[in-house]
């Protein structure tokens, strides 16, 4: 019996979420209906697709085989709809971007607003997570990352370099021992990421400058900056965040200057999707221009 696309969408959602309720939330149908649809699909194929475990719904060997076909069918559907949507002068529908919270808080809001102004029928969602975005589970249509992934069926393009420096408030610097060298940091409270929650080696800034203790830590850049703004210590900050925090002052710039890069990561199957291609181009250009604009302000 042929499998229709609606049943395949339900199957893919359960396979990714490993839960009827989570799949139902994504599909906007109740879990009982999801369960019935899966049971109907299994009956039509005369094969069990999932086993229920403590971890949730796990694919059987038959389910794994169907998943390969389902992903190809999904890519074909996305390419077809993307080609039709891409032929319009403006973009429409929904696009979700995954990003670490530094870029999600300080770059993407203004970049996405500009894209939205040019495409009033387009819904843009920013998924800010302090971890790697799982594109294979379709958590997002594309992701901004710091490291370029080396595995998986993905398209990767470099967007832009960006710079980082140590920062503190002038009040903090006035009320604590002078900081003339990196070695002087040992006498100061350093703020950074929670060491065992650093999800990308490129974010382990403090190791690069020889700091081995983080007195105040958070998995969020925004929280770290708030702590520094209130005078609690010193942290490594993206230069593009500094125009939003004018009371922060760069220190030891002649000794500590880090450079990292943003990359745009997409599903390999979307390379012929004109709609997503156009959005990716606008997003990359917008981020690059915004980094340049904000870093120029931070240097002035």
- What residues pair up with 155 in beta bridges, in sequence order? 266
Integer Cα distance of 166 and 179 in angstroms: 11
Q: Is 254 found in the same domain as 194? A: yes
| Whole-number average pLDDT of the chain | 89
pLDDT in tens, 88-134: 678 888 899 999 999 999 999 999 999 999 999 999 999 998 777 77
Q: Looking at the predicted structure, is the pLDDT value of residue 29 above 70?
A: yes
Integer Cα distance of 67 and 61 in angstroms: 10
Integer Cα distance of 104 and 154 in angstroms: 21
Section 51-58 average pLDDT:
86
Residue whose structure tokens are 């291609």? 277
Q: What is the pLDDT of residue 111?
A: 97
| Residue positions counted in the chain | 300
Q: Looking at the predicted structure, is the pLDDT value of residue 154 above 70?
A: yes
Q: Is 176 found in the same domain as 255? A: yes
Section 33-61 average pLDDT:
89
Write out the residue range of the structural domain in which residue 153 sits.
91-160+262-299
Q: Is 175 found in the same domain as 156? A: no
Q: At 109, phi and psi to the nearest 5?
A: -55, -50
Q: What is the pLDDT of residue 84?
A: 52
Q: Is 186 found in the same domain as 248? A: yes
Q: Is 207 found in the same domain as 188? A: yes
Phi-psi region of 295 (alpha: psi -120 to 50; beta: other; left: phi over 0): alpha
Band of pLDDT at residue 150, cut at 50, 70 and 90:
confident
Q: Which two tokens stand for residue 71?
A: 């992903």
Q: Is 254 found in the same domain as 271? A: no
Q: Looking at the predicted structure, is the pLDDT value of residue 1 above 50?
A: no
CATH of the domain at 106: 3.40.190.10
Q: Is 142 found in the same domain as 209? A: no
Q: Is 269 found in the same domain as 152? A: yes
Range of weakest confidence among 81-85, 217-221, 231-235, 242-246: 81-85
Q: Looking at the predicted structure, is the pLDDT value of residue 211 above 70?
A: yes
Section 206-215 average pLDDT:
87
End-of-domain residue from the set 85, 100, 122: 85
Section 248-277 average pLDDT:
91
Integer Cα distance of 148 and 155 in angstroms: 10
Radius of gyration of the chain (CA): 23
Section 180-189 average pLDDT:
93
Q: Is 125 found in the same domain as 243? A: no
Contact (Cβ atoms closer than 8 angstroms) between residue 160 and residue 291: yes
Q: Output DSSP code: residue 3.
A: P
**SS3 of residue 157 by DSSP:** strand
What percentage of residues in the chain have a pLDDT greater than 70?
A: 93
CATH of the domain at 72: 1.10.10.10
Integer Cα distance of 179 and 233 in angstroms: 12
Q: Is the dihedral of CA 288, 119, 269, 108 positive or negative?
A: positive
Q: Is 38 found in the same domain as 63? A: yes
Q: Is 294 found in the same domain as 147? A: yes
Range of weakest confidence among 82-91, 239-248, 253-262: 82-91
pLDDT in tens, 67-81: 888 877 776 666 656
User: How many folded domains does the chain comprise?
Assistant: 3
Burial of 222 (0-12, 13-18, 19+ CB in 10 A): middle
Band of pLDDT at residue 226, cut at 50, 70 and 90:
very high
End-of-domain residue from the set 51, 85, 119: 85
Q: What is the pLDDT of residue 5?
A: 78
Minimal CA–CA distance to 241: which of 143, 133, 104?
A: 104
Section 169-173 average pLDDT:
96
Q: Is 182 found in the same domain as 37? A: no
Contact (Cβ atoms closer than 8 angstroms) between residue 166 and residue 235: yes
Q: What is the pLDDT of residue 134?
A: 74
Q: Looking at the predicted structure, is the pLDDT value of residue 9 above 60?
A: yes
């Amino acid at each position: 019996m042929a499998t229709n696309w609606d049943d395949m969408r339900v199957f893919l959602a359960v396979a990714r979420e490993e839960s009827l309720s989570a799949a139902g939330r994504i599909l906007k149908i109740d879990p009982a209906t999801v369960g019935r649809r899966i049971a109907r699909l299994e009956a039509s194929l005369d094969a069990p697709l999932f086993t229920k475990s403590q971890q949730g719904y796990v694919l059987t060997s038959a389910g794994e085989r169907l998943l390969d076909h389902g992903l190809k069918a999904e890519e074909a559907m996305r390419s077809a709809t993307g080609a039709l949507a891409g032929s319009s002068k403006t973009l429409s529908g929904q696009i979700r971007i995954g990003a670490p919270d530094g870029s999600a808080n300080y770059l993407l809001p203004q970049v996405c607003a500009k894209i939205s102004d040019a495409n009033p029928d387009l819904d843009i969602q920013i998924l800010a997570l302090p971890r790697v975005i799982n594109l294979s589970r379709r958590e997002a249509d594309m992701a901004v990352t710091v490291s370029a992934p080396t595995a998986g069926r993905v398209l990767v393009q470099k967007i832009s370099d960006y710079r980082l420096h140590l920062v503190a408030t002038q009040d903090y610097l006035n009320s604590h021992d002078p900081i003339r060298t990196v070695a002087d940091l040992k006498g100061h409270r350093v703020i950074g990421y929670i060491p065992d929650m650093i999800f990308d080696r490129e974010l382990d800034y403090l190791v690069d400058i020889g700091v081995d203790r983080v007195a105040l830590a958070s998995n969020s850049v925004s929280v770290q900056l708030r702590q520094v703004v209130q005078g609690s210590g010193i942290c490594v900050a993206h230069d593009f965040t500094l125009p939003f925090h004018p009371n922060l002052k760069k220190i030891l710039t002649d000794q500590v200057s880090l450079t990292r890069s943003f990359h745009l990561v997409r599903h390999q199957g979307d390379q012929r999707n004109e709609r997503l291609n156009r959005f990716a181009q606008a997003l990359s250009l917008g981020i690059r221009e915004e980094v340049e604009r904000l870093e120029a302000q931070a240097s002035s």
